Structures are given as structure tokens and as C-alpha cells.
């Protein structure tokens, strides 16, 4: 999470959407930086609004506009799958090394999810509290030019991004049946992506 007080902007870090690269590029420019623990670095809109936004309301009588990035849902799960297939995850309950992507997505659709497939939800990340403040600027991950242009204009700052936290390659093939079931049972994930800039 990055907060730019003068510009009244909070950049929330949706996992697996390139947030680490933006943190690296902008941490010296930000007024408030949260890099850990993961529950705070990746605080969803509800948690940000309840705790962080409340500080700005009560102390400064102002609110930060919220921006975040959302990734196409199958691609997002693919990034998690590949990330958890790393060599250093072998033997860990999160490892996906000996699973196909199709098996991973089917496990993601279970309730409860097995530990290796329990990676959260982008649509849940953007949920607001009943009287809460939602995200003002939601960008599609695949439109990096729009993200960069928005931030550079808003911050009046040239951003040089490097690739970080990149997942290893992997086969992301899904059967038609699994993809259809996922699209039907997790339609909210596609709705939040489709509605982004």
C-alpha cells in the first residue's frame, strides 16, 4: 500500500497485479508505505477504509481517493498457480508443483478451498463497508500504459518500473468444462475486471 497525502491518493496492492514493482518505483515518493505484513500490505478496500481512511478522516478531515489494479480472473489464478509452483515451495502446503492448472482452478472452486488454492478473491478485495468509501480508480492489469499515465500525471513524477516477483512459466490450459464452471460460479470476478478502466 502506498499513500500520497498531498495528492489525496491511496494505491492499494491487489496481490499478483504488479504491486511490488510499483512499490519499488514509488516508495521514496510516497508519504506512507506499507510493505508488510501481507495482511496490511495487501489490505483490501474494507480494511483500508476502516482503519487507514479513518485516520485521515479523523485527523485531517479528508479522504484519499483509492486506486488499484485488477487482473483478468483466469490470468490472475494462473499467476498464483505459477507463483506457487516455484522450487522453493516444493514440500510446502502451498505448492502447486505436482498439479495441473485445471486441478488448481477446480480446487479454487471448492468450499472450503485446500490450502494451496486459498488465494483470496479480487472481487472480495474491492468490497466496501456498508457506509464505506470504494475504489475511485480501478485499472486493468493489462493496461499498464494507462496505470503509468495516471500515476505520472497525478504525482507529477516519472516512474521507472522494473519487473519484480515474476512467476515462473507454466502451462495454463483449462478444459472447457472447468472454464465454463469457473466463469459461471465466479461471475463477480469477471464483473469487477470488465468494469475497470
DSSP collapsed to 3 states, 18-73: CHHHHHHHHCCCCCEECCCCHHHHCCCHHHHHHHHHHHHHHHHCCCCEEEEEECCH
> Does residue 156 contact residue 71 with C-beta atoms inside 8 Å?
no
Question: How long, in residues, is the chain?
Answer: 197
pLDDT of residue 168: 86
The pTM score is: 0.93
Those residues with Cβ within 8 angstroms of residue 177's Cβ, 6 or more apart along the chain or in another chain: none
74: closest CA among 97, 96, 112, 106?
106
How many structural domains is the chain composed of?
1
> Does residue 33 contact residue 1 with C-beta atoms inside 8 Å?
yes
pLDDT of residue 111: 95
Rg of the chain over Cα atoms, rounded to whole angstroms, equals: 17
Grouped pLDDT means (10 residues each) for the chain, 197 residues: 97 95 95 91 94 92 96 98 92 93 98 97 92 87 96 96 84 97 98 93
Q: Domain range for residue 146?
A: 2-194
d(CA 68, CA 50): 17
d(CA 109, CA 166): 25
pLDDT of residue 162: 87
pLDDT of residue 132: 66
CA distances from 65 to 105, 133, 150 (A): 33, 9, 13
CATH number at 172 reads 3.40.50.300
pLDDT of residue 166: 78
Amino acid at each position: 500500500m502506498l499513500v500520497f497525502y498531498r495528492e489525496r491518493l491511496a494505491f492499494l496492492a491487489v496481490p499478483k497485479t504488479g504491486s511490488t514493482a510499483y512499490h519499488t518505483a514509488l516508495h521514496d515518493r510516497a508519504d506512507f508505505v506499507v510493505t508488510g505484513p501481507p495482511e496490511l500490505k495487501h489490505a483490501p478496500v474494507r480494511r483500508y477504509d476502516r482503519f487507514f481512511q479513518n485516520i485521515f478522516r479523523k485527523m485531517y478531515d479528508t479522504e484519499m481517493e483509492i486506486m488499484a489494479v485488477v487482473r483478468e480472473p483466469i490470468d490472475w489464478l494462473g499467476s498464483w498457480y505459477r507463483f506457487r509452483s516455484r522450487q522453493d515451495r516444493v514440500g510446502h502446503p502451498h505448492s502447486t508443483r505436482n498439479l495441473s492448472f485445471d486441478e488448481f482452478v477446480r480446487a479454487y472452486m471448492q468450499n472450503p478451498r485446500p490450502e494451496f488454492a486459498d488465494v483470496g478473491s479480487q472481487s472480495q478485495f474491492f468490497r466496501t463497508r456498508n457506509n464505506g468509501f470504494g475504489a475511485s480508480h480501478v485499472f486493468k492489469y493489462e493496461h499498464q500504459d494507462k496505470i503509468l499515465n495516471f500515476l505520472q500525471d497525478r504525482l507529477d513524477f516519472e516512474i521507472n518500473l522494473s519487473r519484480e516477483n515474476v512467476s515462473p512459466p507454466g502451462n495454463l490450459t483449462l478444459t472447457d468444462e472447468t472454464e465454463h464452471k469457473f466463469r459461471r460460479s465466479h461471475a463477480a470476478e469477471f464483473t469487477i475486471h470488465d468494469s475497470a478502466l
